[in-house]
Amino acid sequence: MATDAKVEMGPRSADEVRAEIARAREQIQSSVLALRQEVGRVADWRGWVRQRPGLCLGAAFAVGFYLGSRQW
């Protein structure tokens, strides 16, 4: 059975550990940036209105009608 795990050949030097931490930090920064961009794209309400104006107008009308018809 083959595994993808690395086999450690002994203690790592401080420089190797620093280099691994730097690589991990870069990967995390890249992932966070990609996540921010995706969340920004999904949460952009102006884009939703631009792509689906009829649906947004209908939803706004329905919400306004519901709120206007409620008896306070």
pLDDT, tens digit (0-9, with 9 covering 90-100), for 1-24: 455 556 566 788 999 999 999 999
Classify 57 as helix, strand or coil.
helix
pLDDT for position 36: 96
Q: Report the amino acid identity of residue 26.
A: E
Q: Model pTM greater than 0.75?
A: no
Tokens (6 digits) for 57: 């107008």
- What pLDDT digit, counting tens, does each position of 45-65 carry? 898 899 999 999 999 999 999
User: Sorting pLDDT into bands at 50, 70 and 90, what band is 30?
Assistant: very high
Question: What residues contact residue 25 under an 8 Å CB cut-off, 6+ apart?
Answer: none
Classify 25 as helix, strand or coil.
helix
